[in-house]
Homo-oligomer: A and B are copies of this chain.
Amino acid sequence: MFAIDGNRLNRRLAEFAEIGALPKGGVNRQALTEGDRQARRMLAGLALARGFRVFQDPMANLFIRRSGRDETLAPLMIGSHLDSQPAGGRYDGALGTLSAFEVLESLEDAGTQTDRPVEVVAWTNEEGCRFAPGCMGSMAFAAGAIPEEWADKQAADGASFPQELAATIESLPEAEMRPLGFPVYSYIEIHIEQGPSLEAENIPIGVVTGIQGTRWLEVTVTGQTAHAGTTGLSYRRDPMRALSAALSGLYDTIMPEDENARFTVGRLRLSPGSVNAIPEDIRCTVDIRHPDPDSLDALEAKITAAFSKEAGRQGCTAAIRRLFDMAPCTFDAGLQDRIEEAASSLQMPSKRMLSGAFHDALFANRIAPAAMIFVPCRDGLSHNEAEFVEPAHATAGCRVMMQAVRTLTASENV
């Protein structure tokens, strides 16, 4: 029997949730902050205590390696991320990272020998809310280089990406430095579904077939600031009126007309921001998702047209630029089969499903066969302090991962 310790896993989840803890049970552990560094140090500490080797690369991706029979073989990689949303949940990322570490510890506890090394990874900045885009760590790993333009990235709080990255790497001196990118045998990531379907259908395991495409747009509507009390309608060029009309129309059509489409405005600022002055300009983000690349193009065109039209009607101008563009991906069919077989060998119901969120597995999939295991979360809530995973579901996902890892590494107890 290939056991994992579910109590240890759930205890670890609670311990890591104390780093950046928020009053309602969530965490604020945004990428490259002190909280993020603290979580990386805690995981590295646990790993070194078990005699595993700890590495980090120039993107501060964190690796924990357990040797295999043949050290020259490319490692099987398992993991996720440790950073969070500003008001995020305690399972998003942490569940996959700590489940992977639980697998490594259980292999060690059982004295199991794997044919190849197994490595746990915690990717840097999956969330992308402090420094956009998301998945910077796995993206750079898959590309084998850090894009030059990232050197200019600044957080809303004014922090500089290169400085925060360097400080994060320096905060873990016990990790051996390693170049960016290396051969990987296969990659498996456990993650909460972040949607309602597994819970609704009472299925503990989701075998993820792929990830829908994501595009982030930045919309700027520019009008003319003027006095709120004296400026009559014919003299107004109000960007807020244009924005409201455009958004209202888009909310009423995009998602109601296509159940696979997602349309979200999550960030908005207007200036000068005075109660008695018409705004001069407004800037907001638009997050659109779709499993079909052509539909993503159609959505972007529809959004651009709506803002141009409503801005024109109010004597304003609209400018739209892409912040981020992630094409849909399809995971490795063989790995999907291994995960499904692992679940059924443990008498766990599973179902194949598409991921609505992007994940680091999308980028790992570019350099190695990759796949994901989803577990249910309460009410489908994520990016929310109320995010919750039943301990039994966390344990179940980890057991399936262990089973798949044993199969993929021809493991034997020696």
Asked if B216 and A275 make an inter-chain contact with CB atoms under 8 angstroms apart, the answer reads yes
Q: Closest chain B residue to A217 by CB distance?
A: B275
Q: Which of B128, B275, B380, B381 contacts A129 (CB 8 A)?
A: B275
**Distance between Cα atoms of A232 and B134 in the complex (Å):** 21
Q: Closest chain B residue to A213 by CB distance?
A: B229
Q: Which of B230, B274, B384 contacts A266 (CB 8 A)?
A: B274
Asked if A267 and B275 make an inter-chain contact with CB atoms under 8 angstroms apart, the answer reads yes
The answer to whether the Cβ of A270 comes within 8 Å of any Cβ in the partner chain is: yes
What number of A residues sit within 8 Å (CB to CB) of B?
73
**A293: min CB distance to chain B, Å:** 15
Q: Which of B252, B287, B384 contacts A276 (CB 8 A)?
A: B287
Asked if B227 and A383 make an inter-chain contact with CB atoms under 8 angstroms apart, the answer reads yes
Q: Which of B132, B194, B270 contacts A275 (CB 8 A)?
A: B132
**A250: min CB distance to chain B, Å:** 9
Flag the segment in A146-154, A255-263, A404-412 that touches B: A255-263
| Residues of chain B with a CB closer than 8 A to A384's CB | 224-227, 277, 280
Flag the segment in A59-67, A174-182, A240-248, A364-372 that touches B: A240-248
Q: Tell me whether A356 and B229 are in contact in the complex, defined as CB-CB below 8 angstroms, given that A251-B241, A274-B267, A287-B275 are known contacts.
A: yes
The answer to whether the Cβ of A190 comes within 8 Å of any Cβ in the partner chain is: no
Asked if B266 and A267 make an inter-chain contact with CB atoms under 8 angstroms apart, the answer reads no
Asked if B272 and A194 make an inter-chain contact with CB atoms under 8 angstroms apart, the answer reads no
The answer to whether the Cβ of A233 comes within 8 Å of any Cβ in the partner chain is: yes
Chain A 191-223, CB-CB to B under 8 Å as 1, else 0, gives 001111000000000000000101010000000
Q: Closest chain B residue to A270 by CB distance?
A: B268
| Residues of chain B with a CB closer than 8 A to A232's CB | 195-196, 255, 259
Chain A 346-363, CB-CB to B under 8 Å as 1, else 0, gives 000000000111100000
List residues of chain A with CB under 8 Å of any chain B CB: 85-87, 127-129, 132, 134, 156, 193-196, 212, 214, 216, 224-233, 235-236, 238, 240-241, 243-245, 247-248, 251-252, 255-256, 259, 262, 264-280, 285, 287, 289, 323, 355-358, 379-384
The 8 closest A-B pairs by CB, nearest first: A230-B356, A228-B264, A195-B230, A244-B247, A248-B248, A194-B230, A129-B274, A277-B383
